[in-house]
Amino acid sequence: MIKKQILKKLGVSSATLLLLLLIYLFPTKEIKTNKEITYIDENDLKEVYLLDNNNYLSQINIEIKEKEIDKSIKEKISSLINQNNLPKGFTSLFPKNTKINSLTVNDELCTIDFSKELLNVKEKDEEKLIEEIVYTITSEKEIKKVIIKVDGEDLTRLPHSRKLLPKILDRTYGINKDYDISDINNLTKTTIYFLAGEEEKYYVPVTKVTNNNEEKIVLIINELKSSPLYQSNLNSYLNNKAILKKYEIETESINLTFNDKIFDSIYDQSILEEVVYTIGKSIKENYDVKEVVFYVDDREITKF
């Protein structure tokens, strides 16, 4: 018993000495570092469209400080022109030395006038540059349409191919266009969002141009579940056994009813966030609705 008590006391004494030694060796004085941590307010993040390493225009958020709609758009476009504040691995298609002559917002229309340097865009990039401008500007919820001018004149043709452009552009112009047509008549455009990236995921919209006149909801679901890998570096997490049993288009919402194969697993009856977002974003891109509601066998599971 005494031996145990002695050993116990020795253990306590040793622990105390060890603690004092650690305090001595590692003082509580503040350690200085040259690294600065930058915090970004989520309210300052704004959507722009940039070219990724696989030549897809992708939806990316960058920090924008301006709050007024016209100033916010101007700051976004200026960041793209000057390649400022852009995340690694993404670039803008604006030619060097392009300037914004003027920018006005009237109701849901933004009119932007660029300097003549805009016309120096590479021929292979000319259509994607228009897509970049239109989608970046209309990512502001207040803006639905865009007029592009160059030194005061409406841009009515692409600079190199001389392909005609509508005077007033909107998101029906399409982005990352993928053509699957047999006839130039009766074309339909359906924009579908996929996921890309490895460590950092981001969304890539692809406009499918086809002669298919099915309801766009059906086209979206069929494309997203057609393969785990839609094209190189574009992913969909929708199980190819998921079946859209019915859909209801209402004034401000769309209700989708699936079989249970839309669940992440039979044990966890929830839908992957990636599935909810790719379907939800695709539907809102093609329909003027505020909400997409997901059901499984008439039981509401989640909303987007």
Top-confidence residue, 9 or 145 = 145
Q: What is the pLDDT of residues 111-164, one digit of tens each?
A: 999 999 999 999 999 999 999 999 999 999 999 999 999 999 999 999 999 999
Top-confidence residue, 9 or 183 = 183
- CA proximity to 80, closest of 110, 37, 36, 121: 121
Mean of the pLDDT values across residues 82-86?
90
Question: How many separate domains does the chain show?
Answer: 2
Q: Are 87 and 129 part of one and the same domain?
A: yes
On whether residue 234 sits in a domain, the answer given is: yes
Q: Are 247 and 263 part of one and the same domain?
A: yes
Q: What is the pLDDT of residues 226-273, one digit of tens each?
A: 754 445 689 889 999 999 999 999 999 999 999 999 998 777 889 999
Question: Which residue among 147, 171, 195 closes a domain?
Answer: 171
What local confidence, expressed as pLDDT, does residue 40 receive?
Answer: 60
On whether residue 56 sits in a domain, the answer given is: yes
Whether the CB-CB separation of 297 and 260 falls below 8 Å is answered with: yes
Q: Which domain holds residue 159?
A: 42-171
Q: Are 89 and 202 part of one and the same domain?
A: no
Q: Which residues of 216-234 are buried (b: 16+ CB within 10 A; e: fewer)?
A: bbebbbebbbeeeebeebb
Q: Are 144 and 183 part of one and the same domain?
A: no
